[in-house]
Amino acid sequence: MKLLLSWLCLHTLFVGILGRTNENGPDVVTVIVKQGSDIILPCSLSTKERITSKLFDWRKGGQEVFMYDAGIHYNNGRSGQHDQFKGRVSHFPGELKSGNASIIIQNTRMEDGGNYTCDFPRLQPRQKSHIKLVVERTFKDRSGEITDAGRG
């Protein structure tokens, strides 16, 4: 499992992230994924401090994506997650001890694309990360599926 997590993190960092931009605002990390694939959205405290008892909140615009508050989150009883993300978003519990609040979105959809924030609202100073997720449409080759539909 650790090997898989390491591979996913490295894959996301080296393949999916295009870079950081700062266009009249905070740094934004752009992540690209093919529709139907899984993607890790990165978020870590710069101090690498343990966050098992902290609050972090992932949002896409006004939509609640994933919230963790001292062990309580959407996958273990917390309510309020937007329907679009239910059952498809999780975090990495073993990574909380090193300040990693990254999440994974499974089976990405076109509507998942957009601007995300990872917020630690109770930290002083408050820490917020900005991620732009770009979901690329995938097309299936259906040329082999064409039949004699035009013949009578």
> How far is residue 27's CA from residue 43's CA, in Å, rounded to a whole number?
12
pLDDT of residue 10: 38
pLDDT of residue 115: 97
pLDDT of residue 46: 86
Running along the chain, 152 residues long, what does each successive block of 10 average in pLDDT?
41 39 65 97 93 96 94 88 95 96 97 97 92 91 62 54
> How far is residue 64's CA from residue 94's CA, in Å, rounded to a whole number?
23
pLDDT of residue 77: 80
Strand order in the sheet with 28-34: 17-21, 28-34, 127-136, 114-120, 55-60, 63-69, 72-73
The hierarchical CATH code for the domain 18-138 is 2.60.40.10
The tally of CA atoms less than 13 A away on the side-chain side of residue 44 is: 15
**What is the C-alpha end-to-end distance of the chain, expressed in Å?**
56
pLDDT of residue 114: 97
Pairing of strands 28-34, 89-91: unpaired
**pLDDT, tens only, 82-114:** 999 999 999 999 999 999 999 999 999 999 999
pLDDT of residue 95: 97
